[in-house]
Structures are given as structure tokens and as C-alpha cells.
Structure 1
Amino acid sequence: MPKLLRICFIIAFFFAFTNSHINIAPVLGADESDVVTHGFLACGKTTYIVGESGTKTWSYPHSTRDGYVLDSGEIVLTLSKSKKHPGGAVVAIATDGTETVLWKGSQAEVNSAHPTDSGTLVITEAGNNPRLVEIDRDGNVLVEFSLQCQKPNFHMQTRMARKLSDGTYLVPHLLDFAVHQYDAEGNVLNKIDTTVPGDTERKIHSWPFTAIRHHDGHTLVCCTNGNRVVDFDESGEIAWQLTNEDLPGPWLQDPCGSQLLPNGNIVITSYAGGRADVNAPKLIEVNQEKEVVWTYSDGQKVGIHHFQILTTNGQNLAGPILK
């Protein structure tokens, strides 16, 4: 059993919960060697880890917005606002189950927390002063700047902010229909327009939620209400796009999170994928030819806000986590 899954079983005592309605659907190729299986962390209405067999091995009793399982086995979670955490929070769960609060939200919401290679955390807060902060593990603020986005609608200010290898920050702004790249002083270095080309009336249907910077300056963006996943090239032009016309059914329903796998395949979470059909996939994996490789359904109307693929066919995922 891979080390990561052993850790998940060790901390599985947290909460027992039902496995009904779970459907892992690998897509078969010419022979059984082509079968794809994944283990993953799910963040959203409920928070849990699923092994490759479809069995839930760990859960956490709080709604979450973002999450990472680190190489050490520690789990970093961005908590939704609640009575206990009215401004949201970021917590770390150690392998022995010990929980540490790393950040208490001071405004309306904490929307993401990205653990960087240097051990810091990049966090976004929504509210009257939408901002990005980078902190060390003791909570000391190393970088702080205001986000240049609309202010009236707190919930629609931003989502999955990530620090890039060059020290800049990639931040999607939903109601601004744009992904901004900031320097450490908060200057906007460039902007990707996520509106549908030539369709000004449907701008509201292209809210950017997750933005992933990858090969040669490309940026893969999940556009929630637009039900589209778009790969923009370095100049901001569309290089690749996935819509429901490319899939067996209307499976993209509020595509919030995505992850680019080492083999170039893309996994997408369809937050509201079960509203019309509870058997519709919550997670969809496609290759560059837009062929469906793997799906996961949970029988719920809504649920997975973001996720992290942890293992594939029994092996821990290699390389940087691009999600």
C-alpha cells in the first residue's frame, strides 16, 4: 500500500460515514492494463478522502473550499465560514489527527490556501478589503496586498489563488471575468479575459474559478456558470476548450476545480453535476483529445468544490500539484 494511503487509513478513525451512491467508473481500453483508478481528496459540502476502490478512508466534519495533502501526510484545509469560524479559516491536520489553526479569517470568507514549495501559505480573503496574504507556518504575514476586483459582492470576488514559480500570484476574479497575475506589491502584471468571445450578453456565464499556469505560459481556467474549461495561450487566446458538446452528456455543471495530471490529462469537478441526474459525474477526467478516461459519481445533487488527485493505479502522483 502506498505511504499516502497508509496515512489516510491511520487517521480514518476521525469519522465513519456511509459509502452509498459512490460510483467509480474507470474507462476500459483495449485490455485491463488501460484501466485508470484514482484516490483523491474531496473538498466541498463534505470533506473526505476516497481510495482507488471507491471506499472512503477519511473524513473531516466541516465544509471546505480548498485542500492539499502534503508529502508528509499533513492535510491543509481551507474552511468555509461557520459559527466557529465566522470569517473562515485555514487548518492543518497532522498524521496523528492533531488539528492546528494556521489562519483565522478576518473578513467574510477565506477562499483558498496554497502551500508553497518553501513552506509558506498563500491565502485569499473576501470582504470589504479583498486581499491576498502569504504567511509562514507561525502565522507571520510575509506578503500582503489588496486584490483589484469588484467589492460589492464578497462571495464572487475570488477563488483559487496560487503562487507561481517566478514568485508572482495567479488569482481568478469571478465577477470581473478575469484572471489577474500580481507581483508581490499587488501590481497587475497581466490579465486573461474569460468572457465568451463576441458574446457580451453572456459575460456573467464565464466566471473564472480555478486557474492553472502550465507549459509555456498556458493557463487552464475553469469557468463555472459558462460550463467551459479553457486553456489560454501566453497571449490570452484560446488554445483548447472543453464544453458539454464534447462530452456524452451535460456533465459540466458549475465546473469549479480542475487538476492537470503529469500525463497531460485534466480532471474537472462539476459542483452541481447531480442536480439534473444524481448519477452524473462529480469528477471527470479527459485527455487532450477530449476522450473521457475516468469518472466519479456520489449520488448527491451538489458537493465537490475542489479536490486533489492523490494516486493513480496504486502510485503516488509525481511532480508538482497543478490544481
Structure 2
Amino acid sequence: MPTLRLLAVLLALVSSAAAAHPFLCCDYGGGKVCVVSAEGKIEWQWDCKAPQDCWKLPNGNYLFCFVSGALEVTPDKKVVWEYKAPTDVKVEVHACQPLPDGNVMLVECGTSRIIEVDRAGKIAKEIKLAAAPEIKLHNQFRGTRKLANGHYLVAFKGEGKIVELDGEGKVLRQIKVPGDPHEVVPLPEGHLLITCGDGHQVRELDAKENIVWELGENDIPGYTLRLMAGCQRLPNGNTVFCVYLGHGHIGEQAQVIEVTRDKKIVWDVADHAQFKTINQIMLLDVPGDVTKGEILR
């Protein structure tokens, strides 16, 4: 008799063939940002060190950040916007977001700040972040998003918490979570979707910070949760998660999973020939303007 693990894998393969998505992704360990067809072919690639966040813009260009800055690049690989992080101190850029006014929001470890950069590459706004002194630079911050009301949500990776700031940087609330959070996605009705990094789990909280949905390390046979990184909530209620396979797990299992509300896998990516550690993803078959928050990631 087949094992439950084998049955789960076979069912996932059947499902993925019927529900494959084209996508944009960051391969942190592979040092590249890629556009991938629904058939799994890399159609566009940009090499950069330690990419962390990526978006397809309404104009068709690709915005992404990496360890030393951020770029907007056209499909024919022309750089039309650039931000270079400071070089006089050690800095790591770990999140980016296109804003409605055309500026780009970034979060930097080392300088400990959120910045909004204009089309000329100049800093238009800066919010200082107070990282605990014992937290090493690489572990300070990860996923960061600006909300429609001007507030900011920041994953304080090394401190195991999500922090909401107002538009001037005042701390409004702090939410402790397991592990080292890598992503916080604002959802409708004030919900938050949080990936807990090496906490090996995911939580969705309502506006009162109650857990309304969660995914545990061993909830899905054959799909152990490793370091949970980027994610995207889909219009049908499913969620796509990046399972970062560094820390000793490269090549072991699927790098991306699409999970239903009842915790069934309907699509996955397990391409170890082309990718090492996929840590961020944006599906390209979901309509919406990313500058208006219409894509939930």
C-alpha cells in the first residue's frame, strides 16, 4: 500500500498540473529574480545578491530589492529607477513596496530605518526604527508594508514581533509571534497574515489579534514547514507560501506551496534544478494594481 506521504505527493502533482501559475520570484540563495511561466520555464531573469522582495508594476516593469539597494527594470532589461544603499556603513535592504505616489518604500537593516525614495532616487521620507541593541544587523527587520492609512507594519525578525507605526514612526502596537517573522501582509477587515520564519508556522490574526487561521509545521503530510518567508493571499481564499529551504534543507521538498483554507495543497513548485531558496513570490495571473494594495502580499 502506498504511504500517506506518497499519496499526498501524487495528489499534489495532479493538482499542480491543473492549477499552475505564472509567477515572479526572488531566489535568495540563487542570487536572482525571475519571471516563470505556468509551465515552469524561466522567461526573464536578473542576477543580484540576496534578493528579498519583488513586484510586477502596472506599467509592466519589475521592482525588486536586494542586499545593497533596489531597482525598477523593464521587461527588456533597462534600468529605469535605482536606489543604492549607503556604503559607509554595513546595510542590508530587506523589503520594498511601490507606493501610489510613485515613490518606493524600503526597509534597511544597519541604518535601522524605513525610507520612501522618489523617482530621482532621493529619500523623500525617513522613519527611524528602534532595534534592540543585542540583535545582529542581519536579524533586525524583514517584511515591511505601508498601509492605505499611512501606517507601517514591520516584521522585527530577531525580536519575534510585528510592530505597527503611525506615519511619523510612533509605535501603535506590538504583536509577539513565534519564531522570527519574515512577512506581515495586511488583509481586508483589519486581519494580518504573518509568516513566522523558523517558527515553522503561519498565523492569520483578526483586528483584535485573535488567531482565526493557522498552519503548523506538520499539518500537511509531505510538506513540512521550514523557514516560512514570503506569501500572497489569493482572491479565492487560498494562500501561496514560500518555504525557504536554507539552513540545511536545500533540495528536500517543495519551495512554494498553495494551501486552501482547509489545509490542502493545490499547487506547488519543487524545481531544484533552477532554484535554490525561493523566499518571495508574486503570482502573475491575479489581477490588481499593486500600488493600490489590490494584491495581498
The TM-score normalised by the length of structure 1 is: 0.79
1:234 to 179, 189, 207: 207
How far residue 142 of structure 1 moved from its aligned partner, in angstroms, is 2.5
RMSD across aligned positions (CA) = 2.1
Query: Quick one: percent identity of the two aligned structures?
Result: 29
Give the structure 1 partner of residue 3 of structure 2.
none
How far residue 278 of structure 1 moved from its aligned partner, in angstroms, is 2.4
CA contact (8 A) 1:27 1:292 kept: no
User: Any residues of structure 2 matched to 1:34-73 within 5 Å, and which?
Assistant: 35-43=18-26, 44-45=28-29, 46-63=32-49, 64-73=51-60
Give the structure 2 partner of residue 149 of structure 1.
131
Are positions 1:99 and 2:86 aligned together?
A: no
Q: 2 CA distance for matches of 1:42 and 1:95? A: 15
State the AA in 1 paired with 2:38. E
User: Any residues of structure 2 matched to 1:236-275 within 5 Å, and which?
Assistant: 236-272=209-245, 275=248
Deviations 1:234-276 (A, max 9, x none): 1222211101321122431111111111111100000117954
CA contact (8 A) 1:251 1:281 kept: no
User: Any residues of structure 2 matched to 1:8-23 within 5 Å, and which?
Assistant: none
Deviations 1:151-191 (A, max 9, x none): 44111110111111111111100111111111121101112
CA gap of 1:101–1:150, structure 2 versus 1, over 3 A, is farther
CA contact (8 A) 1:91 1:101 kept: yes
Q: 1 CA distance for matches of 2:209 and 2:296? A: 19
How far residue 279 of structure 1 moved from its aligned partner, in angstroms, is 5.1
Deviations 1:200-240 (A, max 9, x none): xxxxxx11110011121110000011110111121222211
Give the structure 1 partner of residue 169 of structure 2.
186
Give the structure 2 partner of residue 89 of structure 1.
69
Q: 2 CA distance for matches of 1:230 and 1:221? A: 5
Give the structure 1 partner of residue 95 of structure 2.
112
Q: 2 CA distance for matches of 1:274 and 1:281? A: 15
State the AA in 2 paired with 1:105. A
CA contact (8 A) 2:244 2:279 kept: yes
CA contact (8 A) 2:218 2:225 kept: no
Q: 2 CA distance for matches of 1:232 and 1:70? A: 28
How far residue 116 of structure 1 moved from its aligned partner, in angstroms, is 1.5
1:139 to 121, 136, 147: 121
Q: 2 CA distance for matches of 1:190 and 1:274? A: 31
Q: Which runs of 5+ in 1 are unaligned?
A: 1-24, 81-87, 196-205
Deviations 1:81-130 (A, max 9, x none): xxxxxxx1111102332114521112421111110223211111111x30
Secondary structure, aligned partner of 2:149:
coil
CA contact (8 A) 2:81 2:119 kept: no
CA gap of 1:61–1:302, structure 2 versus 1, over 3 A, is closer
1:308 to 272, 279, 282: 282
Q: Which runs of 5+ in 2 are unaligned?
A: 1-11
Q: 2 CA distance for matches of 1:273 and 1:249? A: 18
